[in-house]
């Protein structure tokens, strides 16, 4: 009798260890606010929550969105503006978790360039058209009253390549994220603007997927957001382990740059990881002059908070800082 009951109990208790679900997660850039993916993978949080996860690196949001729509990748970091634009144009893209609801980029330039207005007629490096660096460059230049036809964009694939090209005199400036922006400061480049110091809500980075994938794989999505969220909490309270992950993926050798990068990640990565409603509204307002549907769209059309909300109801984020 007792033996039979014991067997029934074991069957009813879910075992993530024996039910590893396969999925893929893409990180797009060696930037500080993407550290959560590295920590989650290196510290085993995905495995802990029953995911046999393949961590990929495909640069740029535009390419990441294409791979998700093609069904090649389940989850990816995505630039908020491009995710919203894709959604307005009918793409099956949704943001599940907020990563950075503010810009963390700095516009860095050759030493002789002193003002944003000096960038008229100049070459500005980005990673790709449709990337976060592209989004922030458009935003900075538009705010300064400089039209897209008054400067030249130079796609260079990766953020570190932008810095290398500035240093080599091949381009004049570029929007850089930490740790590359820290390297640029140390090299003596001019920091024309540091957007991390500005109080602007704008979804810079989020974790995205497709609605069709979520419908077909809700349990994977639930486990994924739980693992990612736990990793962010760990990141904010475990400096040494997080720095090891950052050092590995961002390839940082300079101890000072590594310290600054960890501090930036700890400060700016969202936890609880909600996508900012006001941050999406800022994007819609920016797109309204060129995207007709943006005028009537609601911020809630572009994100799905159900998995983060479930964690909050469970008390998962209690004491969050």
The string of pLDDT tens digits covering residues 6-23 is: 333 333 334 555 579 999
Q: How many CA atoms lie within 13 A of 187 on its CB side?
A: 18
Query: What pLDDT band is residue 61 in, cutting at 50, 70 and 90?
Result: confident
Asked if residue 147 has pLDDT above 80, the reply is yes
Does residue 306 lie in a domain region?
A: yes
Domain that holds residue 148: 106-197
Asked if residue 240 has pLDDT above 60, the reply is yes
One domain for residues 110 and 168: yes
SS (H, E, C) the chain: CHHHHHHHHHHHCCCHHHCCEEEEEEECCCCHHHHHHHHHHHCCHHHHCCEEEEEEECCCHHHHHHHHHCCCCCEEEEEHHHHHHHHHCCCCEEEEEEEECCCCCEEEECCCCCCHHHHCCCEEEECCCCCHHHHHHHHHHHHCCCCHHHCEEEECCCHHHHHHHHHCCCCCEEEECCCHHHHHHHCCCEEEEEHHHCCCCCCCEEEEEEHHHHHHCHHHHHHHHHHHHHHHHHHHHCHHHHHHHHHHHHCCCCHHHHHHHHHHHHHHCCCCCCCCHHHHHHHHHHHCCCCHHHHCCCHHHHECCHHHHHHHHCCCCCCCC
| Domain endpoint, select from 182, 197, 212 | 197
Does residue 119 lie in a domain region?
A: yes
| Domain endpoint, select from 197, 224, 244 | 197
The string of pLDDT tens digits covering residues 197-238 is: 888 899 999 999 999 999 999 999 999 999 999 999 999 999
Q: What is the pLDDT of residue 86?
A: 95
Neighbours of 143 (CB within 10 A): 11
One domain for residues 113 and 185: yes
The answer to whether the CB of 199 falls within 8 A of the CB of 282 is: no
One domain for residues 224 and 146: no
For residue 158, what is the domain's CATH number? 3.40.190.10
Does residue 3 lie in a domain region?
A: no
Q: What is the pLDDT of residue 171?
A: 97
One domain for residues 111 and 39: no
One domain for residues 291 and 229: yes
Q: What is the pLDDT of residue 319?
A: 65
The string of pLDDT tens digits covering residues 168-180 is: 999 999 999 999 9
One domain for residues 80 and 119: no
Q: How do strand 51-57 and strand 123-126 relate by DSSP bridges?
A: unpaired
Q: What is the pLDDT of residue 17?
A: 52
One domain for residues 208 and 301: yes
Mean pLDDT of 86-98: 97
SS (H, E, C) 212-230: HHHHHCHHHHHHHHHHHHH
One domain for residues 207 and 166: no
Does residue 113 lie in a domain region?
A: yes
Q: What is the pLDDT of residue 9?
A: 35
Q: What is the pLDDT of residue 7?
A: 36
Counting the structural domains of the chain, the total is 2
What does the block give as tokens for 58?
């495909």
By the 10 Å C-beta count (0-12 exposed, 13-18 middle, 19+ buried), 206 is classed as buried
Torsional class of 36: left (φ above 0), alpha (ψ -120 to 50), beta (otherwise): alpha
Mean pLDDT of 153-167: 94
| Domain endpoint, select from 197, 224, 246 | 197
Q: What is the pLDDT of residue 312?
A: 96
Q: Residue written as tokens 């109990």?
A: 9
Distance in angstroms (rounded) separating the CA atoms of residues 214 and 212:
5
Does residue 135 lie in a domain region?
A: yes
One domain for residues 163 and 193: yes
Q: What is the pLDDT of residue 18?
A: 55
Query: pTM here?
Result: 0.87
One domain for residues 53 and 111: no
One domain for residues 114 and 187: yes
Distance in angstroms (rounded) separating the CA atoms of residues 11 and 18:
12
Report which of residues 23 and 129 the model is more confident about. Answer: 23
Distance in angstroms (rounded) separating the CA atoms of residues 247 and 233:
19
Does residue 321 lie in a domain region?
A: no
Q: What is the pLDDT of residue 157?
A: 87
Does residue 120 lie in a domain region?
A: yes
One domain for residues 211 and 307: yes
Distance in angstroms (rounded) separating the CA atoms of residues 321 and 66:
34
């Amino acid at each position: 009798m007792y033996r039979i009951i014991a067997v029934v109990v074991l069957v009813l208790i879910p075992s993530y260890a024996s039910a590893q679900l396969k999925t893929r997660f893409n990180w797009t850039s060696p930037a500080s606010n993407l550290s959560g993916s590295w920590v989650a993978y290196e510290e085993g949080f995905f495995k802990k929550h029953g995911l046999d996860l393949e961590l990929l690196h495909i640069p740029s949001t535009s390419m990441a969105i294409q791979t998700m729509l093609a069904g090649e990748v389940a989850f990816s970091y995505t630039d908020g503006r491009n995710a919203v634009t894709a959604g307005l144009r009918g793409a099956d893209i949704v943001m599940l978790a907020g990563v950075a609801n503010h810009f963390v980029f700095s516009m860095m330039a050759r030493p002789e360039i002193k003002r944003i207005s000096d960038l008229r007629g100049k070459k500005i490096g980005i990673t790709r058209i449709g990337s976060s660096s592209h989004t922030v460059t458009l935003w900075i230049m538009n705010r300064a009253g400089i039209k897209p036809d008054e400067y030249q964009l130079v796609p260079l694939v990766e953020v570190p390549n932008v810095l290398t090209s500035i240093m080599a005199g091949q381009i004049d400036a570029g929007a850089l994220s930490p740790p590359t922006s820290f390297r640029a400061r140390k090299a003596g480049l001019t920091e024309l603007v540091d957007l991390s110091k500005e109080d602007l809500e704008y979804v810079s980075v989020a974790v995205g997927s497709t609605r069709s994938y979520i419908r077909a794989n809700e349990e994977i999505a639930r486990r994924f957001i739980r693992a990612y969220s736990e990793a962010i909490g760990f990141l904010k309270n475990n400096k040494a382990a997080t720095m090891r992950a950052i050092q590995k993926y961002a390839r940082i050798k300079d101890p000072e740059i590594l310290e600054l990068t960890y501090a930036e990640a700890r400060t700016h990565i969202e936890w609880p990881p909600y996508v900012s409603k006001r941050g999406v509204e800022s994007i819609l307002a920016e797109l309204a002059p060129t995207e007709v549907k943006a005028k009537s769209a609601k911020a809630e059309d572009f994100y799905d908070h159900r998995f983060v909300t479930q964690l909050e109801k469970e008390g998962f984020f209690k004491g969050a800082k």
